[in-house]
Amino acid sequence: MNEIGARLMTLKEVAEYLQVAETTIRNRDYRIRNGLRTVRVGRSLRFRQEDVQDYVKRNVEGERNGID
């Protein structure tokens, strides 16, 4: 899907999807350290669904290959 038509997820949706607290996702250092990209819509954070799925894929592959 292209940038314009990408599905945007809310902070709450991402936290539920990743099964972590919203405060974890809200933490800017966590997002930067883990490469979880954000989109600002007004004052709200949004996350492209594709970016969240890539984040999960990177972490699963890293774990499988013994990379932290």
Domain 8-64, CATH among 1.10.760, 2.60.40, 1.20.1340, 1.10.1660: 1.10.1660
- Which sequence spans correspond to the domains of the chain? 8-64
Q: Which helix (H) or strand (E) holds 23?
A: helix 22-26
pLDDT confidence of residue 2: 47
Residue 59 has pLDDT above 90, yes or no: no
Nearest to 3 by CA among 41, 39, 42: 39
Angle at 59 between CA 15 and CA 37, to 5 degrees: 55
pTM, two decimal places: 0.76
pLDDT digits (tens, 9 = 90+) for 30-40: 999 988 999 99
Residue 24 has pLDDT above 90, yes or no: yes
